[in-house]
Amino acid sequence: MSTGSISNNTDLTVDDITVIDNKLLKRAVSAAALGNTMEWFDFGVYSYLAVIIGQVFFPDASTTAQLIASFGTFAAAFLVRPIGGMVFGPLGDRFGRQKVLAFTMIMMSIGTFCIGLIPSYASIGIAAPILLLVARLVQGFSTGGEYGGAATFIAEYSTDKRRGFMGSFLEFGTLAGYLLGASLVTGMIAVLPHEAMMDWGWRIPFFLAAPLGLFGLYIRLKLEETPAFKDHMDKREELEHNKPPLSVWQMLRTQSKPLLKCIGLVLLFNVSNYMLTAYMPSYLTGVLGLSELSGLLLVMVVMFIMMPLTLMWGHFTDRIGRKPVIGFGALGLIILSVPAFMLIGSGNMFWVFAGLAVLGLLHTCFSGTMPATLPALFVTDIRYSALAIGFNLSVSLFGGTTPLITAWLVDTTHNAMMPAYYMIGAGIIGLVTVLTLTETARKPLKGSSPAVATEAEAHRLIDKLRKQRRRKVQQKPA
């Protein structure tokens, strides 16, 4: 592949365009999505085992308190994600995306595997929930560098015309990992007696993190660095005096506007995400009184339907733009959250499924677009850092805490519609944020060269840019 930057002062050549190798692109997308699959395998397992984990590690609490404590431990991992983003993001911008993504894969696997090793509260007392918290903090720290790096990696490897579709595979991996974890837990609950699940069965899904992590590490270590980052490093080496990288505080000050946009979009994306994936299984069983197996199966079916819809929106966003799709989803949350939860609250299995399907459809408007939208907010030399920090700040404050806050709101107010009101608030914030965005579909990333699939396409792009330049010159007043 060839890389370079377009200058307004020289004639354009093919060397001024990045030509992406399709085989490398597919490998990059697969490797990045695999890490997200691994992360969300753990989330699917933990969400579907939340009730059992509460009983194992907090046996003296009431049923509601156990669920809140279990989700509290789940949410605690999100509190350290910004710290992970502040550590891994700058490392990714300085030493490369591929190296950091390989390291985060190792840490995620270790954290998940260790959860399966922790003795119960009955065996070691208060040390059990403390060790669970430590393992979750390790997971949270590592995932602080995972999503921002994976989204950056795919965005920088993709062509401008297909960045939305390629990025949507990252969230396809999210849903696949969640579905894999949820399916495994559901199958075990259906087959194993409750006593066996409480004693040793719940540990098995966490032990699977080790082989999955090793496979993901192998794939990531065989990747090449992204074309955009290589080009950036080449330019930096050409300068006589390399500028020192921005500190985190300088970045927060100089990139405040795009960071706020990132936080608003991620809030919209992740409140919808964690409401559906992390909270809904327990809401169906603990609040609405559905059987545990019925609640799990309903959410799984919706997840399965969401997978192709995510890719569909990713494809459409390359044609009609990111803003219309995200705006449609945000407006849908505002209008349809209450009706959807009324359907879910009916208790009728058909209407429960219909309500979940509405929420799932709206969420795919975000899952299919965000992996391409968020990296485009920032320039190449700070893209990993800024995205990791903005993404994880928003996830920590608003996304990962969604199950905990909504469980607390329902318990405090005795109003089963509180999750719907929470989603309406997220929709309003998201819609306001969308209105501030500049459309980035089919455009180069900030600070990067245009990226195309073939040299023939590069020649056509050069001709198009030259014609545009000539028209601008002709339109200038004499």
pLDDT given for residue 79 in this prediction: 83
Mapped to the 3 state alphabet, what secondary structure does the chain carry? CCCCCCCCCCCCCHHHCEECCHHHHHHHHHHHHHHHHHHHHHHHHHHHCHHHHHHHHCCCCCHHHHHHHHHHHHHHHHHCHHHHHHHHHHHHHHHCHHHHHHHHHHHHHHHHHHHCCCCCHHHHCCHHHHHHHHHHHHHHHHHCCHHHHHHHHHHHHCCHHHHHHHHHHHHHHHHHHHHHHHHHHHHHHHHCCHHHHHHCHHHHHHHCHHHHHHHHHHHHHCCCCCHHHHHHHHHHHHCCCCCCCCCHHHHHHHCHHHHHHHHHHHHHHHHHHHHHHHHHHHHHHHHCCCCHHHHHHHHHHHHHHHHHHHHHHHHHHHHHCHHHHHHHHHHHHHHHHHHHHHHHHCCCHHHHHHHHHHHHHHHHHHHCCHHHHCHHHCCHHHHHHHHHHHHHHHHHHHHCCHHHHHHHHHHHHCCCCHHHHHHHHHHHHHHHHHHCCCCCCCCCCCCCCCEECCHHHHHHHHHHHHHHHHHHHHHCCC
pLDDT tens digits, one per residue of 423-446: 999 999 999 999 999 999 999 999
Nearest to 281 by CA among 173, 185, 174, 143: 185
What is the DSSP pairing of strand 18-19 with strand 451-452?
A: parallel
pLDDT given for residue 40 in this prediction: 81
Neighbours of 435 (CB within 10 A): 10
pLDDT tens digits, one per residue of 102-139: 898 888 888 889 999 999 888 998 888 889 889 989 98
pLDDT given for residue 210 in this prediction: 81
Check pLDDT > 50 for residue 167.
yes
pLDDT given for residue 2 in this prediction: 44
pLDDT tens digits, one per residue of 280-312: 877 888 778 887 778 778 888 998 999 999 999
Taken in order of first residue, the domains within the chain and their CATH numbers are: 14-229+248-475 (1.20.1250.20)
Instruction: State the sign of the Cα–Cα–Cα–Cα dihedral 291, 306, 405, 183.
Output: positive
> Which amino acid, one-letter code, is at 462?
I
Percent of the chain with pLDDT over 90: 40
Scan for tokens 């602080």, then name that residue. Answer: 144
pTM above 0.85, yes or no: yes
**Residue partners of 224: CB distance under 8 A and separation at least 6:** 24, 98
pLDDT tens digits, one per residue of 31-42: 888 878 887 888
Q: What is the mean pLDDT of residues 254-260?
A: 91
Confidence band of 449 (pLDDT split at 50, 70, 90): confident
Looking at the DSSP bridge assignments, the partners of residue 19 are 452
**What average pLDDT does the structure give for the chain?**
86
How far apart, in Å, are the Cα atoms of 257 and each of 133, 251, 391?
34, 11, 14
pLDDT tens digits, one per residue of 50-59: 778 888 888 8
pLDDT given for residue 3 in this prediction: 44
Q: Report how far residue 341's alpha carbon sits from residue 358's, in angstroms, rounded to the nearest whole number.
A: 10
pLDDT given for residue 353 in this prediction: 94
Query: Where is average pLDDT lowest: 11-15, 116-120, 462-466?
Result: 11-15
Q: What is the mean pLDDT of residues 184-200?
A: 88
Percent of the chain with pLDDT over 70: 93
Residue 365 near residue 313, CB atoms below 8 Å: yes
pLDDT given for residue 389 in this prediction: 92
pLDDT given for residue 385 in this prediction: 93
pLDDT given for residue 246 in this prediction: 64
Q: Report how far residue 331's alpha carbon sits from residue 417's, in angstroms, rounded to the nearest whole number.
A: 18
pLDDT given for residue 430 in this prediction: 97
Check pLDDT > 50 for residue 219.
yes
Residue 413 near residue 262, CB atoms below 8 Å: no
> Which amino acid, one-letter code, is at 328?
F
Q: Report how far residue 125's alpha carbon sits from residue 138's, in angstroms, rounded to the nearest whole number.
A: 21
**Residue partners of 168: CB distance under 8 A and separation at least 6:** 310, 311, 313, 314, 315, 317, 367, 368, 369, 371, 372
Looking at the DSSP bridge assignments, the partners of residue 451 are 18
